[in-house]
Amino acid sequence: MEAQRIQELKGLVEFCKLNPHVLHTPSLAFFKNFLQSFGARIPAFGGSSNDGEDHEDKKPFASRKRNAPMEDALNDDIVESDAELDNSDIVEPDNDPPQKVGAVEVTEDNQEAAQLSKAKAMAALAEGEVILIHSGSDLDEKLDAASKASCLSVLYFTATWCGPCLYVGPVFTSLAAKYPKVVFLKVDIDEARQVAFKWGISSIPTFFFIRNGEEVDQLVTVDKNALEQKIAQHA
């Protein structure tokens, strides 16, 4: 077996150790069966494992804290609010069209300026291509442009030594061509270590979905269909 293939296989094994739930992906069924033929015990998807122990599910994405490692963020408690909505006071809208936003009067000139700003933001983004991110300032610039252009951003964390990343990388590129109105950003965690630290990366490949400067979802996967479904959901 070629050295590169061996390295890719080692990367896949390490990825599966960190993220055993991916073995339930249909495309990896052959690998799951192969491991089980040697007596490997694989945690069941969603809770209990073959060893009879219960495994706590990860917290929803909304409980994540930026600048904190994923494992620490998963320990945050989620408190359900018992507040009730009061619909007793209903205010009837007036028929006068709004003329001001804050202290700024809405005019045709303002609308044209907003359209021009959006057009400039779109020009700063490469439609249909994957944009490489080399630093935190570089990432901030692209996310700001995507926000002004009202575009969904997909932020992909990868590494050259990661076997699963070598598999999913071409998929990410093909999806960029398929969804030209979505901004596809790629970060090598070895080149941009501070960016990876800021986003709390503990496993790769990891994908974040960002709209208007806010995270709306995240995914750790090598499944093309799962990745595309998330893009279509938020685009």
pLDDT in tens, 44-92: 655 444 444 444 444 333 334 454 444 444 344 434 334 344 444 445 5
Domain annotation covers residue 81: no
Looking at the structure, tell me whether residues 48 and 120 fall in a common domain: no
Strands of 183-188's sheet in order across:
130-133, 183-188, 153-158, 206-211, 214-220
Q: Do residues 188 and 155 touch, judged by C-beta distance below 8 A?
A: no
CA atoms within 13 A on the CB side of 211: 13
Looking at the structure, tell me whether residues 113 and 225 fall in a common domain: yes
Domain annotation covers residue 73: no
> Would the pLDDT of 194 be above 70?
yes
User: What number of other Cβ atoms are within 10 A of residue 215's Cβ?
Assistant: 16
**Lowest model confidence (mean pLDDT) among 60-69, 129-138, 140-149, 163-172:** 60-69
What total number of domains does the chain contain? 2
Looking at the structure, tell me whether residues 113 and 53 fall in a common domain: no
The CATH number covering residue 227 comes to: 3.40.30.10
Domain annotation covers residue 181: yes
Looking at the structure, tell me whether residues 132 and 41 fall in a common domain: no
pLDDT of residue 51: 45
Digit-coded pLDDT (tens) for 124-138: 587 889 999 999 999
Looking at the structure, tell me whether residues 38 and 111 fall in a common domain: no
Task: Indicate whether this model's pTM tops 0.85.
Answer: no
User: Kindly report the CA angle at 47 between 82 and 14, in degrees rounded to 5?
Assistant: 125
Q: Rounded CA gap, 48 and 1, in Å? A: 36
Which amino acid is it at 170? P
Looking at the structure, tell me whether residues 129 and 17 fall in a common domain: no
Looking at the structure, tell me whether residues 111 and 187 fall in a common domain: yes
Residue 168, domain extent: 107-234
> Would the pLDDT of 107 be above 50?
yes
Domain annotation covers residue 63: no
End-to-end alpha-carbon separation of the chain, Å?
Answer: 41
Please list the active-site residues. 162, 165
Looking at the structure, tell me whether residues 52 and 147 fall in a common domain: no
